Structure 1
Amino acid sequence: MKDTAKLSTENISSLVATGAGFDLLRYYTLPDFLGKDAPYLLYFMGKNIARETTIETFEELYEFFQYMGWGELQLKKEKRRELVFHLQGHIVEKRLNQKIFPVDFRLECGFLAETAQSITGDTYECMEEVLTKENIIEITATKEK
């Protein structure tokens, strides 16, 4: 196995891809192979991807989400035990409004949980909620005890 570079906003921006191919793999092929465990495995795949990054700030995290084609991420609320993020934008809206397959945001949640831990030093678990009228994904990162 060859050595690979850590992922960063600098080197990820050099990748060329379309979201359609990624979405077919993510929402059609993986669930076909993985069955009902697909959402759990996608969450851990997101955590694994995050472990291979060099993200050190929330600003770098927001930029990384855009480069990955996951949408525009913003921290909306910071509470003692929670961080509440909104994921939105044209890409998110298109994913939510397509009629081919059901979508989830488990990969993004896993990535966000692991990255928030590396930035803050606290362990988080993330869950998403679709705010349908606004075409926004609200991701709540809850600090584990």
Structure 2
Amino acid sequence: MRETAKLSTDNISSLVATGAGFDLLRYYTLPDFLGKDAPYLLYYMGKNIARETTLTTWDELYEFFQYMGWGELTLIKEKKKEIIFQLKGHIIEKRLNQKLFQVDFRLECGFLAQIIQVITSDTYECVEEKHVKDSMVEITAIKG
């Protein structure tokens, strides 16, 4: 097994990638390999990526989403057993309005669930709700 550095906003800012290439892998290639289990595995891939980060604060989380090209993540409302986020921005609008494939945000949800656990010390499960008309995604983190 090769040794790799933990992911941080400092070192990921040096990566160069295009969203189109990432989306082709995510929505064409992975489902072909993984079949109907692709959404579940993407969720756990997100959790795994989060475990390889050094993120410990909300601000680092929001910055990480920006650097990864996952959109602008904003905390909208905090309840006793839920935390509601909004994911928006140009990249989200483009993903929601393209006609090539059906998009999901399972990778982002898995990542978010794991980082919330790091920040709050509580276990959360995240689910997304797409709002195509408003060009945004609402992600609800539900305390486990």
2:97 alignment partner in structure 1: 97
Q: How many matched pairs?
A: 144
User: Shift in Å at residue 81 of structure 1?
Assistant: 0.4
Instruction: State whether residues 87 and 137 of structure 2, in contact with CA within 8 Å, keep that contact through their aligned partners in structure 1.
Output: yes
Instruction: State whether residues 97 and 132 of structure 2, in contact with CA within 8 Å, keep that contact through their aligned partners in structure 1.
Output: no
Residue type at the aligned position of 2:56 = E
- Equivalents in 1 of 2:126, 2:85: separation in Å? 10
Gaps of 5+ in 2: none
2:14 alignment partner in structure 1: 14
Q: How high is the TM-score relative to the length of structure 2?
A: 0.99
Stretch of structure 1 that moved more, 68-77 or 131-140: 131-140
User: Shift in Å at residue 25 of structure 1?
Assistant: 0.1
1:88 alignment partner in structure 2: 88
Gaps of 5+ in 1: none
- What is the alpha-carbon root mean square deviation over aligned residues? 0.5
- Equivalents in 1 of 2:79, 2:132: separation in Å? 24
Q: Secondary structure at the match of 1:133?
A: coil
Q: How high is the TM-score relative to the length of structure 1?
A: 0.98
Asked whether 1:28 is paired with 2:45, we answer: no
- Equivalents in 1 of 2:22, 2:135: separation in Å? 20
- Equivalents in 2 of 1:140, 1:79: separation in Å? 11
User: Shift in Å at residue 2 of structure 1?
Assistant: 1.9
Identity of aligned pairs, percent? 76
User: Shift in Å at residue 99 of structure 1?
Assistant: 0.6
Aligned structure 1 segments of 4 or more residues deviating by more than 4 angstroms: none
